[in-house]
């Protein structure tokens, strides 16, 4: 563990990362590939916490735009994150990685309620902990939930996995001249309105002095490289 940059990590995954080549839902191939990447991290003796979004199944804000009550839509989105969390737990346990899902909404038939001290105990017993259902409250995104859990769990870093390898001055898919930032301050992200991560999540990380790493983990071995201080990413601190 001597060459590891961080020892306790909160990994934020988007729901879209589970889609694969489809347009929605959960791809069995994608989730198996992701589980294998996470196992390689787990085998470094990293204490790993995970928060997954639900955008591959349902997004509350999109529902509100179509006329659905925002609060109802957000609760539906929270349930989508529980489905994703259970799918990832299953994929991890199939490759012999002990995993526990804790939900901010009590759903005792399928997962544990979120209990901070119990989550610490799981980490001590070398289990991955997946935090589902966001914060348990509407109007808060899973980015904010991830920053909250990272703060509560005393994580050394929060890594947000995106489709690009860091934060750019503009969308690199549209602007060929977009510049990738190696390092930014929390205030840089907020003042420049760099919308790769929610402002409330950035503010919470800033208050609790948790570095934010933005990168793509969809290249084999990139997450392990990031944890060793290598790889390609943007760090916000």
CA distance 30 to 15: 11
pLDDT of residue 169: 87
pLDDT range class, residue 146, cuts 50, 70, 90? very high
The two three-digit tokens of residue 141, written as one number: 């995104």
Query: In whole numbers, what is the pLDDT of the chain averaged over residues?
Result: 92
Q: For the CA atoms of the chain, what is the radius of gyration?
A: 17
User: pTM for this one?
Assistant: 0.94
Cα–Cα separations (whole angstroms), residue 108 to 36, 80, 101, 113, 194: 28, 16, 11, 7, 38
- The CATH number of 8-236 is 3.40.1160.10
In tens, the pLDDT along 164-220 reads 889 998 888 888 898 999 999 999 999 988 888 999 999 999 999 999 999 987 777
Contact 131, 184 (CB under 8 A): no
In tens, the pLDDT along 45-70 reads 999 999 999 999 987 667 666 888 99
């Amino acid at each position: 563990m001597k060459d590891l940059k961080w020892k306790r990590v909160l990994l934020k995954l988007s729901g879209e990362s589970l889609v694969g080549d489809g347009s929605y839902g959960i791809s069995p191939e994608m989730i198996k590939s992701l589980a294998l990447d996470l196992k390689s991290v787990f085998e470094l003796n990293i204490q790993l916490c995970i928060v997954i979004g639900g955008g591959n199944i349902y997004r509350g804000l999109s529902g509100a735009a179509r006329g659905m009550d925002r609060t109802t839509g957000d609760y539906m989105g929270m349930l989508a994150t529980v489905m994703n969390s259970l799918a990832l737990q299953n994929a991890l346990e199939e490759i012999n990685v002990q995993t526990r899902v804790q939900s901010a909404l009590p759903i005792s038939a399928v997962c544990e309620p979120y209990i901070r001290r119990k989550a610490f105990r799981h980490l001590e017993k070398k289990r991955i902990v997946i935090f589902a259902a966001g914060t348990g409250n509407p109007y808060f995104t899973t980015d904010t939930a991830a920053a909250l859990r990272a703060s509560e769990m005393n994580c050394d870093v929060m890594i947000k996995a995106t489709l690009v390898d860091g934060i750019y001055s503009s969308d690199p898919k549209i602007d060929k001249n977009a510049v990738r930032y190696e390092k930014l301050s929390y205030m840089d992200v907020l003042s420049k309105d760099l919308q790769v991560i929610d402002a409330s999540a950035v503010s919470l990380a800033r208050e609790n002095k948790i570095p934010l790493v933005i990168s793509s983990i969809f290249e084999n071995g990139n997450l392990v490289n990031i944890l060793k201080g290598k790889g390609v990413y943007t760090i916000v601190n």
